[in-house]
Homo-oligomer: A and B are copies of this chain.
Amino acid sequence: MKSLYAADIREHQPVDSLFLVSAKNQGVTKGGNSYLVLKLLDRTGEIEARIWERADDLGRGFERNDFVRVRGQATLFQGKVQVRVQDVTRVDEKNVAAEDFLPKSAFDPDVMFEEIQAILGSINDPHLRRLAEGFFADRELMELLKRAPGAKTIHHPYLSGLLEHTLSLLKLTLKVVENYRGIDIDLLLMGGFLHDIGKVYEFSFDRAVDYTDAGQLLGHLVMEVEMVNDKIAAIADFPEDLALRIKHMLVSHHGAYEFGSPKLPQTLEAVVLHALDDLDGKIQAIQNLPEKEPGSKWTAFHRAYGRSFYRNSSGESE
């Protein structure tokens, strides 16, 4: 864990901490000396920094997007706090804790993962049980699942956000199916578990959440069909119709063509999965929107939903 975060730096404070260099520009003083203007980023925000001395020298040691250890002094410059840098050295990514640079879920990923395993443990269908086991046995994938964000911006956009959303959705599913007959619960739980699992490869999330090339060109819906095919191939006699129903839930779970689903939900389980996925994401997103301005009952504008939200009063008090 870092010793000092960007958002906590105050005037006059000595600085010695790790940052990600998000901008690096050269300037020249009136006296003809070059200096460097940096932006230093961590998960709490960004702070400006300047290197007035040995700028050429120090500047050779790192590039934009590198992690660096910065030593210096916080000062006021044109009314804003910035870091006057005395020394800066490149730090290898291995020596950096990603959660210092990306926001993360408030819940413990290992605990959430165990809860998910427990819920899927209730599945009765033997083939679906084996499919779940196939996924749980894939350590590398499960480690990614524990860390992946839920989205770039729309909802759960932080480390372990995917896990948090998956768990909440599974728990919601268990509640909802109590109200109806004729829903195939095992199938729906499997759909809930897998519906966004392609996001572990759709996004890169070591320094910042971004789309991978495959994520951009195929998307998580198609990618998770590929992942399911891989796991099913290892299970003897997996019923074709069952495989079809699972994959249909995955490709249709965005619920509409314009949201990138190549097929509309055409089974009861696919319809329910889409509705609950959408609802769980919206609830999380609305509850986590900042206020429009301090003290306002209205949230900031949510670009994807195209509106602000009027807070309920009970929400404010919590």
Contact = CB atoms under 8 A, between A and B. Distances in A.
A228 to B, nearest CB: 10
A247 B313 CA distance: 16
A298 B211 CA distance: 12
A282 B275 contact: yes
B182 A268 contact: no
A141 B262 CA distance: 24
Interface of A is mostly: helix
Contacts of A259: 257
Contact of A229 (B28, B229, B282): B229
Interface string A153-183: 0000000000000001001100110111111
Contacts of A268: 283, 286-287, 309, 311-312, 315
Interface in A262-318: 262-264, 266-269, 271-272, 275-276, 278-279, 282-283, 286-287, 297-298, 306-315, 318
A26 interface: yes
What bracket does the count of chain A residues touching chain B fall in? 35 or more
A86 interface: no
Contacts of A279: 176, 271-272, 275-276
Given A267-B310, A268-B283, A287-B268, A258 B260 contact: no
A64 to B, nearest CB: 9
B218 A251 contact: yes
B171 A179 contact: yes
A23 interface: no
Most chain B CB atoms below 10 A, which of A172, A179, A241, A314: A179
A248 B312 contact: no
15 contacts: A28-B76, A175-B175, A175-B179, A182-B287, A184-B313, A216-B310, A218-B248, A222-B225, A225-B225, A260-B263, A261-B262, A271-B279, A271-B282, A271-B283, A272-B279
Closest 3 A/B residue pairs (Cβ) = A27-B79, A175-B175, A217-B248
Interface of A: 25-28, 32, 76, 78-79, 168, 171-172, 175-176, 178-184, 187, 213-214, 216-219, 221-222, 225-226, 229, 241, 244-245, 247-248, 251, 257-264, 266-269, 271-272, 275-276, 278-279, 282-283, 286-287, 297-298, 306-315, 318
Given A32-B76, A182-B287, 7 more contacts: A27-B78, A175-B179, A218-B263, A222-B225, A264-B306, A266-B308, A275-B275
